[in-house]
Amino acid sequence: MDPGLYRAAMYGRVGFLQENRHILEAQLTPNRNTTLHIAAMFGNTDCVNEILRHCPSLLSRVNIKGDTAFHIAAREGHSFVLRALIEHAKARGNFAAASNPRHTGLVHAYVNYVKAQEEELEKGFGSAKGMLRMTNGDGNTALHEAVQHCHLDVVKLLAREDPEFSHPANDWDETPLYLATEKGLVSFVCEILKTCTSPSYGGPGGRTALHAAVIFNFQGCTKALLDWKPSLTKEVDMYGWTPLHFAARFGFVPRTVQLLTTDTGVAYIAASENEMNAALHISASQGHIGVMKVHLSQCPDCWEMINGRGQNILHIAVEHERKEVIQFILKNTWARYLINQKDVGGNTPLHLYAASNNFVVPELTKHHRLDLMSFNKENMTALDAFIEEELQSVRAISGHRNIISEDNAKLLKIKESRAKGKKELPADIRKVADTHLIVAALIATVTFAAGFTLPGGFDGNNGPNQGMAVLVRKAAFGAFVITDVVAMLSSAAAVFLYFMASFEDDKRKLIDEHYVPTLFLILIAMIATMLAFITGLYVVLAPSPHLAITVCVMGGFSFLIFYKVIYKVLRSL
């Protein structure tokens, strides 16, 4: 767009626009905004009038986002600009309707332009109502934009100019009434309800404006919508939830009162999804006792309702571990009819309580009408459910009615075990054996190397003792050599036994004749290695008795560990 023309539309320089009227229609910004869009954006009513006087076709032109000047003026809240646009649209429609051969020469001079616009007029875009009903790229009408940006005066103007239009949802399934409700704009909601004859009230997910009013806990919006259309209480969203379900979910007591005062029948509507819970079930699952009290006061028989799994409110409270709700329910006289009621799985609330094992509610277990011997469809009592894991760990039966089935299950396990074969070795045993083999190989390597790197070194002097160990006459040196040899032989024997184990197929022989002996050989090798280390250091440090004794004492502590390990292994065999 020409910079001077853009600045003129932005700053309201009508004279410059008039001087350049011959280029007004062709000038566009990068977003395809016309001079009319710019003038409407910055609220310059005089510029709008001047532009439309010379280029009325710009009235229906859209930018890259599908916005007309009506959308932009409504979005920015420029009610005077919007009024000017509406007046021009009305005049344009009236002019087209009045064009016929009997009119004056001035009219005849403009007939060609009118004919060029006939197709647009037939579509409704040449009239004021047609322009107000146009949608942009997001499916928004001018009223959508006014509500989204909270311009009440614009909302009043638009609603009164086209009260018959329902203003359907945009591409996000939002109607102006839903948007106003979601924002808590009570005055907007009241204006739309008062002015429009049949406004649309839908929202995303199949929700209505009343859903939004309840979800966001707006008292004024809720009242206005209930006064306008009480039947909204029974309309459900895509999950089958009514506004009352949401009031129960969030624990909104005042909204619950409003809804049930309008229509108590909504309390008995179960959701089509989420296990077909009624609002009372949802309030019990969330621990909202206040909402439950409202339900029971308005609908005293609603405690009888069950959900899609056959659960009553006591089942649900126990399942969700709502201690306060359980205590509240059990205080009522009708609780005796719920306490032994079974769901589709035959479970009573006590079964669910026993299975949870996470919280304590003495009022439930001590109730005078409680049936402790009630069986579910798995033939288990609540006590069986409570100790099921313990029963299985000691191979006990899981219920007095399960004796035959338990025996059959044991027989089936025996057959499966035989089918797998007695010679099959568990994977965890092989992993342990592999670890032992690595330890044995490491000890053998270390002790073998120690045999040729003796402490004190060798005698390098010429003579009969050349090549002999320097410390060979020391008693500690003899102990070092013996323990090193024991460690070397034990670890080598362990490696050999593990090697031979690869040829053994019988699991029992494999464990008894290979793995157990090698375990003891490795323990002996480890003890001997530790002794060789201590004696080797002692013989080298003998000239410094204090240091040598300290090393021996510190090394002695390791034998306590060896003792505990060996004792534990011997006890487990």
For residue range 236-283, what is the model confidence (pLDDT) as tens digits? 999 999 999 999 999 999 999 999 999 999 999 999 876 789 999 999
Rounded to whole angstroms, how far apart are CA atoms 285 and 313? 8
Res 507 pLDDT > 80: no
Long-range contacts of 398-404 (CB under 8 A, 24+ apart): 399/375, 401/375
More confident residue, 557 or 88: 88
290, 327 Cβ separation under 8 angstroms: no
Q: Does domain 1-134 have CATH number 3.40.50.300?
A: no
Q: How confident is the model at residue 160 (pLDDT cuts 50, 70, 90)?
A: very high
Residue with tokens 């647009």, as numbered in its chain = 120
Rounded-to-integer distance, Cα 242 and Cα 266, Å: 8
Lowest pLDDT segment from 50-64, 222-236, 497-511, 524-538: 497-511
The secondary structure element, H or E, covering residue 533 is helix 516-541
pLDDT of residue 312: 94
pLDDT at 119: 46
Percent of the chain with pLDDT over 90: 49
Residue 485 has pLDDT above 70, yes or no: yes
Q: How confident is the model at residue 404 (pLDDT cuts 50, 70, 90)?
A: very low
> Amino acid letter at 375?
F
Burial label for 411, CB within 10 Å (0-12, 13-18, 19+), is exposed
Strand partners of residue 520: none
Amino acid at 62: V
Contacts of 389 (CB under 8 A, 6+ apart): none
In this prediction, residue 109 carries a pLDDT of 39
CB 278 within 8 A of CB 270: yes
The two structure tokens encoding residue 495: 């490696």
Confidence of residue 88 (pLDDT cuts 50, 70, 90): very high
The length of the chain is 573
Kindly list the domain boundaries of the chain, sorted by start residue.
1-134, 382-420, 427-572
User: What local confidence, expressed as pLDDT, does residue 136 receive?
Assistant: 94
Neighbouring-strand partners of residue 458:
469
Return the pLDDT at 289. Answer: 96
What band does 105 get if pLDDT is binned at 50, 70 and 90? very low
The contacts found for 298-305 with CB under 8 angstroms, 24 or more apart, are 298/260, 298/261, 298/264, 298/267, 299/260, 299/264, 299/267, 299/268, 302/267, 302/268, 302/278, 303/329, 303/332, 303/334, 303/338, 304/337, 305/268, 305/270, 305/278, 305/280, 305/281
Highest mean pLDDT among 161-175, 459-473, 532-546: 161-175
CA gap 135, 151 in Å, rounded: 18
Cα 503 → chain centroid: 54
Q: Distance between CA atoms of 17 and 13, rounded to whole angstroms?
A: 7
Give the integer Cα–Cα distance in Å for 49 and 43: 12
pLDDT band at 503, cuts 50/70/90? confident
Structure tokens at 286: 């969330």
Local structure of residue 207 (DSSP, 8 states): -
Q: What is the pLDDT of residues 426-445, one digit of tens each?
A: 555 667 777 878 888 888 88
pTM value is 0.65
Measured distance CA(500)–CA(339) in Å, rounded: 65
Half-sphere exposure of 526 (CA within 13 A, CB side): 17
The token pair that represents 57 in the structure block: 């076709």
